[in-house]
Structure 1
């Protein structure tokens, strides 16, 4: 009987101790989802991602065309588009983090 009471008390204590942590994680998750949605809405409204990727591809094609002719332009466009996609991904992550910080 004593073992059961002690076990029940320990479970209750553990539950009460861990309860505030679950609220913090839910709060962060909510703030993160809202920041991602806000960033995505702004980017879609202004076509930001497309502008970055296409602009990088055009720049790569121009440089590749000057250095290697038509084949170089094709390779440069691919490299530029890949670089633009990476740059856009980094920009989005940075924007989400900034929006999360502003929500305090």
Structure 2
């Protein structure tokens, strides 16, 4: 539990630092992507990355970090892949964000 709390603090500090940098220069997200692109696969193009970075730079992130339900597996290209459990993800999203409306 202590490890998870420390990890959360570290990740939150990193996110806040990146958001401050992106707020000054949204295109700086591309340098970060170039640093990690050998280790990730995405279908998000660079224009979308910059757009999403601009949107995220105005957000506030709390320490409430949740894990997306799924499993890690070895992919066809011999890279680790995280396969999301879509039913469990939907349930988690509804638990977190759904608010019934009276009426």
TM-score of the two chains, using structure 2 as the length reference: 0.28
Q: Which has the higher helix share?
A: 1
Q: Which has the higher strand share?
A: 2
Task: Pick the structure with greater CA Rg.
Answer: 1
TM-score of the two chains, using structure 1 as the length reference: 0.28
